[in-house]
Amino acid sequence: MKNFAYARAQDADTAVQLITQNQNAKFLSGGTNLVDLMRENIEQPDHLIDVTGLPLAQVEELPGGGVSIGALVRNSHLAANQIIRERYPVLSQAILMGASAQIRNMATTGGNLMQRTRCYYFYDTDARCNKREPGTGCDALEGFNRIHAILGASDDCIATHPSDMCVALAALDATVHVTGTGVERTIPIVEFHRLPEDTPQIDTNLQPDELITSVELPALPFARNSMYRKVRDRASYAFALVSVAAALEVEDGTIKNVRLALGGVAHKPWRATEAEKVLTGAKADEEIFKRAAAEELKAARGYKHNSFKIELAERTIVSVLKTLASEGGAR
């Protein structure tokens, strides 16, 4: 690991000043991904700015019925929060299906948003990787690409985003609150992460001097009937081959409201807007679920080892929607 300077910020303004004043600096919260990347010499910051002392570790109800989640709320605390479990069960389930209990005890909401890919070639410094070293190529294209993207990929990168939590946030219309040099702004979660295109080294639309302060969930009463399903190679400690986060409201047999997002299939959590268009206002039955899934995966492209993901994603979408449409949303 490369030597680095360390500073501990006591408030958000100081944190932003420190990262602005120091080139090649990174914010440090839980460190479950960043420190791992530093040990592998993939991330080599000159400065670490510890933000764990900032007062951003609360889950708070908002006047309109939504919820604000501080950037430093630990994943385990968020998953166990009673408001989240009752109003947004998809989020609690997604977090509990990610990593191990020890990692969830350290990982934070903001840090989860900033996770980098777990692509084999990204972690292998002897491999060509445009995300790690722009312009060198992508060995995943012709290599072992079983876990890689089937949607939104480019000839420069077919890596996938690893987060479970972020897939649930995409389905819940979350917004990310950030603060920078003299400015605060909000970023819809579906616009926070980027597709690779020809700049796969840029994971998010966050500016270099911006700090995540909170994530806001809107009031979505029908999100009480929501769930997260993760298909993976083993039952624990594995990243998703395909995951589905969904919330569904059916009234008199007709789909009144639906939110749907996919994980394990793209460089970012994939909001399934094409499927939602097919579903909204339609009769809630297996035929329409299949049609919606097929429409969403129409643009999917498989590679040598991951073409199976297309059918797997379609089947998982249908299964989740059938479960939510059943009486009481029983699972």
pLDDT digits (tens, 9 = 90+) for 129-143: 999 999 999 999 999
Per-residue model confidence as pLDDT tens digits over 71-88? 999 999 999 999 999 999
- Residues paired with residue 216 on neighbouring β-strands, in sequence order: 68, 175
Average pLDDT, whole number, for the chain? 96
β-pairing verdict for 226-231 and 254-263: unpaired
With a pLDDT cut of 70, the percent of the chain lying above it is 98
Q: Confirm if 266 and 149 have CB atoms less than 8 A apart.
A: yes
Per-residue model confidence as pLDDT tens digits over 168-218? 999 999 999 999 998 999 999 999 999 999 999 999 999 999 999 999 999
Element (H, E) at 103: helix 101-106
Residue 328 in this model has a pLDDT that exceeds 80 = no
Residues contacting 31, CB < 8 A, separation 6+: 106, 111
Q: Confirm if 257 and 280 have CB atoms less than 8 A apart.
A: yes
> What mean pLDDT is predicted for residues 37-54?
96
β-pairing verdict for 59-61 and 270-271: unpaired
For residue 330, what pLDDT is reported?
A: 38
Residue 329 in this model has a pLDDT that exceeds 50 = no
Q: What is the DSSP letter of 49?
A: E
| Residue 1 confidence class, pLDDT cut points 50, 70, 90 | confident
Residue 274 in this model has a pLDDT that exceeds 90 = yes
Measured between alpha carbons, how far is 285 from 68 in angstroms, rounded to an integer? Answer: 35
The token duo for 317 is 């979408």
| Amino acid present at 118 | R
Measured between alpha carbons, how far is 168 from 113 in angstroms, rounded to an integer? Answer: 12
- Residues paired with residue 70 on neighbouring β-strands, in sequence order: 214
Report the topology of domain 56-331. Answer: 3.30.465
Measured between alpha carbons, how far is 311 from 331 in angstroms, rounded to an integer? Answer: 22
> What mean pLDDT is predicted for residues 90-111?
96
DSSP 160-222: ----SHHHHHHHTT-EEEEEETTEEEEEEHHHHB---TT-TT--BS--TT-EEEEEEE---GG
Residue 261 in this model has a pLDDT that exceeds 90 = yes
Architecture of domain 5-53: 2-Layer Sandwich (3.30)
For residue 286, what pLDDT is reported?
A: 97
**Core vs surface per residue 316-326: b (16+ CB within 10 A) or e:** bbbbbbebbbe
Q: Is 197 left (phi over 0), alpha (psi -120 to 50) or beta?
A: left
Residue 237 in this model has a pLDDT that exceeds 90 = no
Provide the residue ranges of all domains of the chain, joining segments of one domain with +.
5-53, 56-331
The token duo for 168 is 């649930």
**For the CA atoms of 286, 222, 169, 279, what is the dihedral angle to 10 degrees?**
30
Please check whether the two domains, 5-53 and 56-331, share a CATH topology: no
Q: Confirm if 229 and 247 have CB atoms less than 8 A apart.
A: no
For residue 236, what pLDDT is reported?
A: 83
Measured between alpha carbons, how far is 192 from 204 in angstroms, rounded to an integer? Answer: 6
Q: Confirm if 146 and 305 have CB atoms less than 8 A apart.
A: yes
- Within 10 angstroms of residue 21's Cβ, the number of other Cβ atoms is 12
For residue 235, what pLDDT is reported?
A: 85
Residue 331 in this model has a pLDDT that exceeds 70 = no
The token duo for 297 is 């995966």
| Residue 327 confidence class, pLDDT cut points 50, 70, 90 | low
| Residue in the block written with tokens 């670490």 | 48
The token duo for 82 is 């009673």
- Within 10 angstroms of residue 245's Cβ, the number of other Cβ atoms is 31
